[in-house]
A = this chain, B = another copy of it.
């Protein structure tokens, strides 16, 4: 349903400097995060869409690929092509499937050197010619003399190429390059030019998710004047027998490991449109997606429809804030609404983690689960903004578990395929948080069964020893301290859901496991540490040490020792009481740390002392002061973080956006609250950074956050009113939020050291 009136408004409304409710779409800048290591992409996608059609400036060998995890880096000067799948902000990466490059005149079959773009099909461009907004991207390729515009449907990418007048219009499809590429990544691929001019194909790659298959179907708005289907692979021992066609131009279909299609359209007097549908299931699935989702040749209509969908999605929160903050906020909201991605075809079929094709019944199947990241804030955000979709997301997790060869929930998966990246079983907090917040539309009994199966699966991450010993022993499993901590939190969320479902024995067993954090918390040093099977802590111990194979995952003891969201009261006690806790937390932020300490670990960035905002283990830390009765310190730290770690330029993200987690942190924090412990139904209060935020809720209700006297001179919370009534606690509940109403922060110049300091006013923890 297109909200046409709103859309028309968008065209005419200027972006105002004054903080008023304005058009969200115009405030999104998809380039934010495309510089530095934000790893976002500037191209076109729909909310949670299957296609992410975006320019790729390079696809280097995976040894050097970190900076090109989304295919595009703002600092590059040439474009390799436009491919249909990208992760938004991942650290590790893959994808870049079905790369198209239009060109005028001479045909180039290889990309050429980056420092000499004209040696191949790669083309120089300048940011001046680029335009990007949700669902739309445009650029002019200087060498190739083509204006490229992109938009997206759910499963279809749309290209509009405007060629130089009179020039030979060509499109090259190169199935060889991949994000995080390496020699041999393409296991197999095929191309088929059908009699009706539709080009279909597939490629199977051995990347992050090994053996992943992606199919596509591509239709052109102009008749083909000629084509070549090429297999560029060299040094093949055995090629078998040659199929029909003497010349690449006679060939209707090929398979191999280095395929290209060169497509000639001759001189054109109007733009060439290309529609590309993808599918994880089959070519037929891609063909069906194409015909069901993208009839006709109305690029502008497709763009309008895409932007209308974004308008609706971004309308979930209206804010009043100055323009730079609006840009950061709505871009964050945009980035938080990209993944998980639709992974089932128009007919509901999808490829599960067993590589088999399954039928989703009654829900769309979603994948792209960066769970270690998004369980913290991005998924909790969706319980508020996208409650219906959240039920489908949980159904998707459960469906994935049911077809997992291991019988467990996704860890880090995409297009249905598992990568085993990162640690923990964080589908549990996602599901428990959704269940406890009253999200429906999934089979809760099946979900609980899937959660238990995952938490009890011995071979995964040494759960067998964890279950026996109460901790993961470092002599058996790397990064054992962080694993124990995160397992214990995940266990707590399972216990909370089991308890709510009346499964008391199960709840009891997992509440007990939730206390396992204590088994790795060394009261002597005051840090969480890894232990050996014999019970000893591993030595030597350096709380600043960080590195692969250490006690922790992408972190050190200073960063990881705070990861007990389910029992901060217990942690305070373990750390020697409230004052010691606060002092130690201060030390995290205030210690002078040489950033070189972390230079060898890709994902640790955004440093404030040991606090690393660029990576997720730090994300809850600033809010922990609330638990120790020092909410003004939370407010101070948030001010520092918001001012130093985000801005509205390409380098505006301090680290990987991680499929919206960095952005979700920003959104919650800007609105004054944060889900420190998903599954608790509590939002811990910080301080707002927008004058007003109005959250759209089901049934026409709204939850409005207001910040009175908000400016740089008033960074502290004086008092908080919930629906006009003074709030004594430093948290609100999900029930408060979904009931609708108004949360008012009255800001002031100096800290209020009397508000929410007592035990009864602090957020929930296991011990209460």
Measured CB to CB, the residues of A under 8 A from B are 62, 180, 182-185, 187-188, 190, 192, 194-195, 202, 204, 206-211, 237-238, 240-246, 250-253, 255-256, 282-284, 354-357, 405-408, 418-421, 457-462, 476-477
Contacts and interface: CB of A to CB of B under 8 A. Distances in A.
A405 B180 CA distance: 31
Nearest to A417: B255
B62 A238 contact: yes
B204 A246 contact: no
How many copies of the shown chain assemble into the complex? 2
Contacts of A183: 237
Contacts of A237: 62, 182-184
A580 B283 CA distance: 58
A162 to B, nearest CB: 32
Nearest to A465: B246
Contact of A459 (B182, B252, B457, B477): B252
Given A195-B407, A240-B419, A188 B204 contact: yes
A401 to B, nearest CB: 13
Contacts of A250: 458-459
Nearest to A183: B237
Given A211-B190, A211-B255, A244-B461, A185 B405 contact: no
Contacts of A187: 187-188, 204
A408 B182 CA distance: 37
A243 B356 contact: no
A253 B352 CA distance: 14
A240 B210 contact: yes
Contact of A244 (B204, B246, B406, B476): B406
A252 B188 contact: no
Contacts of A209: 240
A208 to B, nearest CB: 6
24 contacts: A182-B237, A185-B238, A187-B187, A187-B188, A187-B204, A188-B204, A188-B211, A192-B405, A206-B238, A208-B240, A208-B241, A210-B240, A240-B420, A243-B418, A243-B420, A244-B408, A246-B462, A250-B458, A252-B406, A282-B356, A282-B357, A283-B354, A284-B356, A357-B357
Contacts of A357: 282, 357
A61 to B, nearest CB: 9
A452 to B, nearest CB: 15
A206 B252 CA distance: 20
Given A210-B256, A237-B184, A282-B357, A457 B406 contact: no
Contact of A406 (B242, B243, B477): B243
A251 B255 CA distance: 33
B355 A190 contact: yes
A734 to B, nearest CB: 33
Contacts of A208: 240-241
A476 B245 CA distance: 11
